[in-house]
Structure 1
Amino acid sequence: MNYAYHWLQKSNPQNPVLICLHGFTGTSQSFSFSFTEINVLAIDLIGHGQTDVYVHPYRYKLSVLVKDLSLLTIQLNIDSFYLLGYSMGARTALAWSIEQPKGIKGLVMEGGTPGIQSPLEKIERKKQDNRLATMLFTSSLAHFIEYWESLPIFNSQKMLPLSVRRNIRRERLSQQVIGLALSLMYMGTGQQKNYWPDLKKLQLPILYLVGEEDIKFQKIGKQFIEQNKCFRMIQVANSGHCIHLEQPKTFERLVGQWIKEEETKHANNKNKSTAI
């Protein structure tokens, strides 16, 4: 299994590492940062971008995916790192933090959910994900992307500059049908394990970022931070579901500040341990 990745910034080996995971129909090219004190690694998730697509479907399961990603960090000699995930990438990052926590210093979730708690709602969501996969197989990719972009959750993106919207569409249209369909069928929200019960015991700082126009994920975020005192939520003005595209400067500032704060805490704790 081969995963495509690239370093957005890698200026100093002493800098903390931030690993970025994109959303559904996105790629590692979705992210753009200008950090000078953070080394940023972006990965194409399975079924997307330049990462392998034609593999056994079981490799698309979140539990298998996070094992593969954890192995990738070992191969790249990354001992410790922060995770950042958007939407599907946020779900993946949370699963990674719970199931393969070694080396993870903190997590930034941009949207994303710990899963569906109601068994009936989970069944319905699985059916919905499968219907979308069927649409991919029975119509053109262009038709599916047109439908996907028309969903209410992306309404705020219609206000983005035309050049940005064209880049987003170009990225989405670069995908392969089979990769998107298998992602929906095997790692969609309907297939995802319910991680809500795991949140209380998760000993990891988490920053949950949500747009002020993203009502659905504001509700999820409020429920999320109630589970653990290590969690924090920030609501970003003039943004919907995809903050890193709609308010990129604010997004970068919030992420950078949070990592700096966490690094300071790590350094202080290390100094205390040394003193003892």
Structure 2
Amino acid sequence: MPFKTIRGATYHYRWLHQPDPKKPTVVCLHGFTGSTQTFLFENPTSNYLAIDLIGHGKTAVYLHPYRYQLSALVEDLSLLLAELEIPSFYVLGYSMGARVALAWAIERPQGIKGLILEGGTAGIADEQQRHHRKIADRKLALRLLKEPLVEFVNYWEKLPLFASQQALSPEQKTKVRNERLGQNKFGLAMSLYSMGTGAQKNYWPMVTTIECPVLYLVGQKDTKFQEIGKQLTATKETFHYQMLADCGHCCHIEQPCLFEASVVAWINEIERGRTS
């Protein structure tokens, strides 16, 4: 099983298909309570490299809280790609993973050819709102540590953000639930505490420093992140917004074929531009 130890933290990663040196690499970053198992690209048009983020999946959990901060995490990820000898790549992030991807492109942009953001944010601009969110995230982290994980998962999957997932098949719902139940409580708590939206710095003033193209994907039923996506992509001509039909926050699970087609078409367009 592929692991790399970066600055004392062991990261788990996996290729979704046998990598082909002629194809571009897409680094896939999951959301909170997720893992590499969330990504299923049926057609290997790119080299899809999924990574378990710190505190999740098979990646290290019991580390100092500062290692969970976005700045520390994106430094690790940058070093991981260097260890794997991948000099250029795209980054695809879902929800929490999209926030990581944005931080990565802002703080460690070397080698990033493009960003695909699925329902992510550049942070909370209002300082008071950010403070209130940090308090809420820390209360949730404490709740995670105190109660059985199954109780937290029951609460989490009933959030309005995930309401559209009720339309998934029983098999799909079981898979998503088992992925959440397979996490480590301490890792999830530290993620909320040090890497939650409340703890995240306000990246909005730095969004325009991103030099690579950006594709923002959002579900038709995800009205909250539609507004965020429109705001983010309005800042630069190389940033593009696309709404996907009949899905909510988690497009890649609710409409996997549509999601994959959008990602493939966008990357192909960029790659053609690079070779023309």
Residue in 1 aligned with 2:94? 86
Q: How does 1:21-60 map to 2 (within 5 A)?
A: 21-60=29-68
The one-letter amino acid of 2:165's match is: Q
Mapped pair 1:179 → 2:187 = yes
Residue 6 of structure 1 corresponds to which residue in structure 2?
A: 14
Counterpart of 1:116, as a letter, is: I
Partner residue in 1 for 2:4: none
TM-fit CA distance, 1:10: 2.8
Q: Is the 8 A contact 1:10 1:38 kept in 2?
A: no
Give 1:229's aligned residue: 237
Work out whether residues 34 and 179 of structure 2, in 8 Å CA contact, stay in contact via their aligned partners in 1: yes
Deviation, 1:199, is: 1.5
1:57-76 aligned within 5 A: 57-76=65-84
Match of 2:81, as an amino acid?
Answer: T
Q: Which residue in 2 is equivalent to 1:273?
A: none
CA–CA distance in 2 between the matches of 1:199 and 1:86?
Answer: 17
SS at match of 1:134: helix
Secondary structure in 2 matching 1:3: strand
In the alignment, which residue of structure 2 is the partner of 1:204?
A: 212
Q: Partners of 2:250 and 2:100 in 1: how far apart?
A: 16
> Which range moved further: 214-223 or 35-44?
35-44
**Is the counterpart of residue 167 in structure 1 residue 164 in structure 2?**
no
Alpha-carbon distance between aligned partners in 2 of 1:86 and 1:236, rounded to the nearest angstrom: 14
Identity of aligned residues (%): 53
Structure 2 unaligned runs (5+)?
Answer: 1-8
Q: 1:56 corresponds to which letter in structure 2?
A: H
Structure 1, 100-109 or 191-200: larger mean CA deviation: 191-200
Contact preservation (8 Å) 1:35, 1:256: no
Q: Do residues 130 (structure 1) and 169 (structure 2) align?
A: no
| Structure 2 CA distance for aligned equivalents of residues 201 and 71 of structure 1 | 21
Aligned length: 268
Over aligned residue pairs, what C-alpha RMSD do you find? 0.7
Distance 2:195 2:220 in 1: 27
Question: 8 Å contact 2:106–2:209 — kept in the other structure?
Answer: no
SS of alignment partner, residue 141 of structure 2: helix
| Distance in 1 of aligned mates of 2:123 and 2:144 | 24
Q: CA deviation at 1:94?
A: 0.6
Contact 1:66 1:95 in 2 (8 A): yes
Q: Secondary structure at the match of 1:182?
A: helix
**Paired residue secondary structure (2:176):** helix
Code of the residue aligned with 1:69 in structure 2: it is: L
For 1:129 and 1:159, the matched residues in 2 are separated by: 28
- Counterpart amino acid of 1:227? T
Helix, strand or coil for the counterpart of 2:252? helix
Aligned to 2:26: 18
How big is the shift at 1:267?
1.1
Task: Tell whether the 8 Å contact from 1:205 to 1:231 is kept in structure 2 after alignment.
Answer: yes
2:159 to 148, 151, 158: 151
Say which of 98, 104, 125 aligns to 1:117. Answer: 125
Normalising by structure 2, what TM-score? 0.96
String of CA shifts for 1:163-210, please: whole Å, max 9, x gaps.
000000001000010000000000000011111111123211000000
